[in-house]
Amino acid sequence: MQLTSTHFFSLIITLLVTLLPGALAARRVKSAEDYNVGGRSAGAGMVAGTIIGTIVGGAATVGTAQLGFKLGLTAWWFTLGSGIALMLMAIFYSVPLRRSGLTTIAEFLVTNYGKPAGWLATLSACAGIFFSIVASTLTALHLVAGIFNVPLTLAAGVIILVTAALVFFGGLSSSGMAGIFKIMLIFASIFVGGFLAYSDMGGYAGMRAVLPEQPWFSLFGRGVGDGLFSLGAMIVGVISTQTYVQAIFSAKIGKAAAAGCLSAALVVIPVGLPSVMIGMFMHAKHPEINSIDALPLYLATYLPEWLGGIGLAAVLLSALGSIAGLALGVGTMISRDVVTKVWTGLTAQGQLWASRLSVLAVSVAAMVFVFLHLDSSVLEWNYLSMALRGSGIFLPLTFCIFFPGKVRASMGVAAMGAGIFAALFWRHISIIEVNSLLPALCYNLFFLIIGLFWKER
């Protein structure tokens, strides 16, 4: 990308203004509870900001534009499915989770199925979320290298430093503040870009003249089965993600948690559409470019320079904020569900630093993994992530919500173990070609139903 001094000035000022509130929030962090759940004092706005700051990441912007460049409207499934999942969380999950007064999904499952469930939940959630971090890291790496014209290794160092600035000291509060500012930037730049791209192509009629109906204008551009799987994977994955549940745990009361989830859903659903429009526009105008560059190249080329700089900052913050928020979720589980269980004599200050160092370690591990898969697709890692984390958590957690204390503990553990096994090994042991999420959920359901009726008798 050929950026002007106006681009860089606008971009850097936007980054500094957005990072400042999170840095100020870090001053209030005195304990592990402040760091992990913001002292349980968040209102609906902060809950929504924390969720948006993580879920509207590289996949929702650059990754959606990338798939929009290749296939069109089917790329909308990521944010559409995320919004539907958040609505379900607001209606059914938020109040019972907040009422528990816990910090991690694993702790919640332990109260119903016993200690083995905690270890399985930590394994499933950490493995799944790790691949979401990989997806956002892949996006951020290309963005930083392209925007600043630096080698990938230097770009990697910048990403680690900014990620640390976002959550290393401030934790959940910093993530929530950054999320609120980030969505304002996206509405100010990417939504404007999407509208302009749509208009420049002559609206729907002009787009139809350039692009055929299939697959470009269908949510099921890759088939009905693929579309429904994308929706199901997003619902299962979002509800099973520690970071979003952690935002619920941070709320003052259950109603604030529900309102925050619903507000986040109403923001997240439309976010993908302008990115899809921009991806389709760039395919029509510049079919020769690398698909992952569709959104940043549009912002740098077709928007006024000052607004393009804000847009590039918004996209960069989307990827970095997602990395930070997801790493915070994994770091919280590692520190709460592993470190404190192994190192029982850890002080309160030690628990705080265990959380911080876990976040940093996860971010570095994801960066190393990305360097081994530089040419992979952003959304593919995200869908794999949703399937992995949902296979061991979604249905066991759902049964805890709807049938509290009614499922036999051993069957709950068996459901989780069988689901994780299917997610990892189904493709190696079965002759039926189907995504591993479906058999994993079937195994979950089989053991949970047995456990439900066994317990009642």
Tell me the domain boundaries of the chain.
5-376
pLDDT band at 430; cut points 50, 70, 90: confident
Cα–Cα distance list, 42 to 108, 135, 218, 268, 427 (Å): 20, 28, 39, 20, 43
Question: Hey, what CATH topology would domain 5-376 get?
Answer: Sodium/glucose cotransporter (1.20.1730)
Q: What is the CA radius of gyration of the chain?
A: 21
Between 285 and 181, name the one with better pLDDT.
285
35 pLDDT more than 70: no
pLDDT of 457 = 44
pLDDT tens-digit map of 145-162: 878 888 999 999 888 887
Q: Is the dihedral of CA 15, 176, 379, 74 positive or negative?
A: negative
3-state helix, strand, coil in the chain (%, to 5): 85, 0, 15
DSSP helix/strand/coil, 1? coil
How many C-beta neighbours within 10 Å does residue 276 have? 26
How many C-beta neighbours within 10 Å does residue 210 have? 14
pLDDT tens-digit map of 357-398: 888 888 889 899 999 888 777 667 766 777 777 888 999 999
Between 88 and 233, name the one with better pLDDT.
88
pLDDT band at 175; cut points 50, 70, 90: low
The top-scoring range by mean pLDDT among 31-35, 129-133, 378-382 is 129-133
pLDDT tens-digit map of 36-55: 666 677 889 888 888 887 78
d(CA 204, CA 3): 31
pLDDT of 216 = 92
pLDDT band at 19; cut points 50, 70, 90: confident
Between 430 and 450, name the one with better pLDDT.
450
Task: Tell me which of 80-94, 172-186, 250-264 is least confident.
Answer: 172-186
pLDDT of 199 = 93
Task: Tell me which of 48-57, 66-75, 115-124, 302-311 is least confident.
Answer: 48-57
DSSP helix/strand/coil, 344? coil
pLDDT of 407 = 93
Burial classification of residue 451, based on how many CB atoms lie within 10 Å of its CB (0-12 exposed, 13-18 middle, 19 or more buried):
buried
**pLDDT (average), residues 247-257:** 90
Burial classification of residue 333, based on how many CB atoms lie within 10 Å of its CB (0-12 exposed, 13-18 middle, 19 or more buried):
buried
pLDDT band at 29; cut points 50, 70, 90: low
177 pLDDT more than 70: no
Burial classification of residue 2, based on how many CB atoms lie within 10 Å of its CB (0-12 exposed, 13-18 middle, 19 or more buried):
exposed
The top-scoring range by mean pLDDT among 24-38, 370-384, 404-418 is 404-418
251 pairs with which residues across the strands? 42
pLDDT of 172 = 58
Task: Tell me which of 225-234, 249-258, 267-276 is least confident.
Answer: 225-234
Mean pLDDT of the chain: 84
Residue type, 111: T
pLDDT of 222 = 83
pLDDT of 343 = 77
The top-scoring range by mean pLDDT among 51-60, 169-178, 267-276, 354-363 is 267-276
**pLDDT (average), residues 131-150:** 83
